[in-house]
Amino acid sequence: MLTCRYAVTGPGTSGGVFYLARTLGSQLSAGEDCQELRASVGLHLLDFDLFTETAAEREQAIWRFEMRDERQPKISLGNVLQMSLIELNKADRLGLPEGPLRAWITFFKHWQEELTMANVAHEPVKRAMSRIRELSADEETRRLAFVRERALRDEVSLLNDARREEA
């Protein structure tokens, strides 16, 4: 699983496709039977909207890509290589039917909002919130979280500086 705050490469998925293909390719050694391959599934939680060109793209937040024929999309090579993308901002904005996926999206977008999270009934999300509260109570954990957050901001700043220098 990968969580991105901004497009990493290309249209936002090239790096993800590369690492997903590597997980598939690294499963077998020379001489092993391809029937032993297990599906490689990438789950990318995007903290930005990736697909926005058309009205239909703006109304869809959950995407599942797999290998299909261009002319006959019903013809598939199976699901051994799958990439799922969830545009968290869009999913939160569009709203989803009640259920586990909506609960998790609410968690990823609103975990710091006690009132919002109090309305989530999905037990695994409630356990995750409890764990976050436990971790937040630990001073060293808070310090490490701050250091990580600062590093992420610094990384974004450095990338933006490099882009400005190139322009």
Query: 152 versus 6: which is more confidently predicted?
Result: 152
Residue 6: its pLDDT value, please? 53
160 pLDDT more than 80 = yes
Q: Is the pLDDT of residue 3 over 60?
A: no
Do the beta carbons of residue 110 and residue 116 sit within 8 Å? yes
Q: How many CB atoms lie within 10 A of CB 51?
A: 17
pLDDT in tens, 29-47: 888 888 888 888 999 999 9
- If phi > 0 it is left, if psi is from -120 to 50 it is alpha, else beta; for residue 99 that is left
Specify the range with the lowest mean pLDDT, choosing from 7-16, 22-31, 67-76, 124-133.
Answer: 7-16
The percent of residues in the chain predicted with pLDDT above 90, rounded, is: 46
Short-list 101, 142, 151, 104, CA closest to 126: 104
pLDDT digits (tens, 9 = 90+) for 141-155: 778 888 888 888 888
Whether residues 86 and 119 share a domain: the answer is no
Q: Which of 63, 95, 127 is the last residue of a domain?
A: 95
- Name which residue leads in pLDDT, 40 or 1: 40
Residues 81 and 108 in one domain: no
pLDDT above 80 for 85: yes
Residue 136: pLDDT over 80: no
Instruction: Render pLDDT for 9-28 as a digit per residue (tens, 0 to 9).
Output: 444 567 788 888 888 888 88
Supply the range of the domain harboring residue 39: 1-95
User: Does residue 118 carry a pLDDT above 80?
Assistant: yes
Asked if 11 and 53 sit in the same domain, the reply is yes
Is the domain of 103 the same as that of 164? yes
Residues 101-112, mean pLDDT to the nearest whole number? 94
Identify the pLDDT of residue 76. 92
- Those residues whose C-beta lies under 8 Å from the C-beta of residue 12, and which sit 6 or more positions away, are 4, 46, 48, 50
| 3-state SS class at 16 | helix
- Listing DSSP states for 9-36 in one string gives STTTTHHHHHHHHHHHHTT--TT--GGG
Question: How many separate domains does the chain show?
Answer: 2
The answer to whether the beta carbons of residues 15 and 9 sit under 8 Å apart is yes
Q: In terms of domains, do 28 and 46 share one?
A: yes
